[in-house]
Chain A
């Protein structure tokens, strides 16, 4: 079946229509920072300013903080009350291909390797509507990480900018079903499809930052004990949590109880391997030194994740480069890992 298309000025009506069935999330700066937020029913100005959000869309499934349950000590143990659930399924509109891939990577942990009910309750029936990039950032290096800025297999529907309109690609059955029920779409012509192909190519070519990840898993394995390299690499890091908390594939969380007298709440919230307390235990802290924490962060993405899931847990979104207070650049770090693989053989 041929692709559909929609005029850019009709996006508000499209979201309105979908809003009757879903809780629609779209890029917004209303909170003071660019993030996916529940759509307010009219504002589509993001179509003009949106390149990518600061807060990655993972926050829609793994929020910075969530209440797991409330507990109260009773006569016979604890009474547990779970917070009311939003019964509406979520539709995320405008997900970038790098972030869509990141969600697919999170799924490997939270859906495939282990079923995380908190994540899955929001993620399971969610619809991801991708939006192809036209203007990638200087820090973007998605094309080096197997992602194309205007193509995605990790969304349900993919929108490609073809001038005054978006071409809509149906990527999954879920997407196909939604399109079948959606009114007001036009049939795309052969010309539109040609435009979309060109649009994808143009976006691809605009990603100028490159990273060669050939053999990186083995290189990291061989350089794991190279303390001098890791110390040098970590020297300017200030151990803040920006590059991990705002990474679209980082999923570490902490669990805390807040208890007053006989009752309280259990929270889970984002955590970071960059923090010294992350590994603090009663007797020791295996990552007390900064270089060990930096090594962990790099190796988790480029060595351990490939070992477990056969995929690098980095999609080249560039947030960690763009937002780092000291311009610690993961692409420079990966390129500088010494090749000691021969010596190990």
Chain B
């Protein structure tokens, strides 16, 4: 499949159908892939498809000028569609190289199960429903749901719905919602006072690196409220209260845009379980508006369109 991807990507650049290719190449650490953003057709030789291509590449689309050929997993394709809905991207300016995705391996889960850091592992291989980890010469096998990212376990669209070229056989969705929602279910059952304490602790270690925001394709604002000074909505100091407000407002701003790609939580260097907030918002949006972002490019953006009939009396 990689060969086909490389050929297609190269052809797109050669035939001047795109200006850029965005995909993945091998990363510089074990079990990593890293975004490859290039105009050079020779670079397409380095493109890969791997269970470690964790980034949501749609994040780069709003910062790039010209036509782009982009490798997209199901979640990436939803973010692309969401950007099209919001008029941040023209469909004709993007060639989607769709990749059916069997779910991405969460190295943090493997670390917890094996009791070793990722760089101490010899090998990780996906074999159907199982993931085999080789450590200190021994092979350990895990059921895929044990070691895939929570957001992958909730995936409703492993194969992009919107694509130009599909690389590989489509995969049907097979959500493992029970596995995926454990943390959130536990939080919902927690009494409010205790839950408040929980989030206070979590947000106490936020350092305001803004990786959650910057890795998020739905966070495409040119100017983020968090950096406004007049009025100053939130202090730029990493005080837990301000950190919490930042994240809550961010969450509201991406409601109806968030596709549950899980990037915010994955990139957090201090392990704040941010997806517990975004996924809950995703569910609330679905429940209230029967809306799932990034599923239909013709659908009007949930929070950015207005119809007279739906107005409350006050605004009519």
Contact of A54 among B35, B55, B270 (CB under 8 A): B270
Residue in chain B with minimal CB distance to A137: B119
Per-residue contact bits, chain B 221-237, to A (CB 8 Å; 1 contact, 0 not):
00000010000000111
In the complex, what residues of B have CB within 8 A of residue A256's CB? 235-237
In the complex, what residues of B have CB within 8 A of residue A269's CB? 208, 236-238
Do B270 and A139 have beta carbons less than 8 Å apart? no
Do A138 and B209 have beta carbons less than 8 Å apart? no
Per the bound structure, the CA–CA distance linking A215 and B171 in Å amounts to 52
In the complex, identify which listed stretch (A104-112, A195-203, A324-332) lies at the interface while the others stay far away: A324-332
Do A240 and B207 have beta carbons less than 8 Å apart? no
With A238-B214, A246-B269, A258-B235 already in contact, the answer to whether A138 and B207 are too (CB < 8 A) is: no
B30 within 8 A of A: yes
B2 within 8 A of A: no
Do A139 and B267 have beta carbons less than 8 Å apart? no
Do A326 and B34 have beta carbons less than 8 Å apart? yes
A272 within 8 A of B: yes
Contact of A267 among B30, B35, B235 (CB under 8 A): B235
Contact of A254 among B34, B38, B120, B236 (CB under 8 A): B236
Contact of A33 among B235, B239, B270 (CB under 8 A): B270
Do A51 and B237 have beta carbons less than 8 Å apart? no
B211 within 8 A of A: yes
In the complex, what residues of B have CB within 8 A of residue A51's CB? 117
Residue in chain A with minimal CB distance to B239: A65
Per the bound structure, the CA–CA distance linking A331 and B28 in Å amounts to 9
A31 within 8 A of B: yes
Do B239 and A326 have beta carbons less than 8 Å apart? no
**Interface of chain A, helix or strand or loop or mixed?**
loop
B254 to chain A, nearest CB (A): 16
Among A298-337, those with CB < 8 Å from B are: 321-323, 325-329, 331-332
Do A54 and B28 have beta carbons less than 8 Å apart? no
Do A139 and B119 have beta carbons less than 8 Å apart? yes
With A137-B119, A254-B236, A258-B235 already in contact, the answer to whether A326 and B35 are too (CB < 8 A) is: yes
A229 within 8 A of B: no
Do A65 and B214 have beta carbons less than 8 Å apart? no
In the complex, what residues of B have CB within 8 A of residue A240's CB? 209-211, 213-215, 267
With A32-B201, A240-B209 already in contact, the answer to whether A322 and B238 are too (CB < 8 A) is: no
Do A241 and B208 have beta carbons less than 8 Å apart? yes
B29 to chain A, nearest CB (A): 6
The size of the chain A interface, using a CB distance under 8 A, is 42
Per the bound structure, the CA–CA distance linking A51 and B116 in Å amounts to 11
B224 to chain A, nearest CB (A): 9
Among A254-313, those with CB < 8 Å from B are: 254, 256, 258, 267, 269-270, 272, 275, 277, 290
Per the bound structure, the CA–CA distance linking A169 and B160 in Å amounts to 60
Among A21-58, those with CB < 8 Å from B are: 31-33, 35, 51, 54-55
Do A31 and B208 have beta carbons less than 8 Å apart? no
With A32-B270, A33-B271, A64-B238 already in contact, the answer to whether A327 and B209 are too (CB < 8 A) is: no
Per the bound structure, the CA–CA distance linking A54 and B263 in Å amounts to 19
Among B88-144, those with CB < 8 Å from A are: 117, 119-120
Residue in chain B with minimal CB distance to A235: B37
Number of residue pairs spanning A and B whose beta carbons lie under 8 angstroms apart: 112
Do A245 and B34 have beta carbons less than 8 Å apart? no
With A33-B270, A256-B235 already in contact, the answer to whether A242 and B117 are too (CB < 8 A) is: no
A223 within 8 A of B: no
Among B184-227, those with CB < 8 Å from A are: 201-202, 204-205, 207-211, 213-215, 227
A236 within 8 A of B: yes
A17 within 8 A of B: no
Residue in chain B with minimal CB distance to A272: B209
B146 within 8 A of A: no
B172 within 8 A of A: no
B247 within 8 A of A: no
Among B33-85, those with CB < 8 Å from A are: 33-38, 55, 59-60, 63
With A239-B214, A258-B235 already in contact, the answer to whether A327 and B29 are too (CB < 8 A) is: yes
B276 within 8 A of A: no
B122 to chain A, nearest CB (A): 12
B50 to chain A, nearest CB (A): 12
Do A31 and B205 have beta carbons less than 8 Å apart? yes
Per the bound structure, the CA–CA distance linking A170 and B38 in Å amounts to 53
B27 within 8 A of A: yes
Per the bound structure, the CA–CA distance linking A242 and B55 in Å amounts to 16
Do A236 and B237 have beta carbons less than 8 Å apart? no
Do A241 and B210 have beta carbons less than 8 Å apart? yes
B283 within 8 A of A: no
Residue pairs across A and B with Cβ atoms less than 8 A apart, 21 shown, are A32-B201, A32-B271, A32-B272, A64-B238, A235-B35, A235-B37, A236-B36, A240-B211, A240-B214, A241-B211, A242-B269, A246-B207, A246-B209, A269-B236, A269-B238, A290-B63, A323-B269, A325-B263, A325-B267, A326-B34, A327-B29
Q: A64-B238, A240-B213, A290-B63 are in contact. List 16 more A-B contacts (CB 8 A).
A: A138-B30, A236-B35, A241-B210, A242-B209, A245-B207, A246-B209, A269-B237, A269-B238, A270-B208, A277-B227, A323-B269, A325-B266, A326-B34, A329-B28, A329-B29, A331-B28
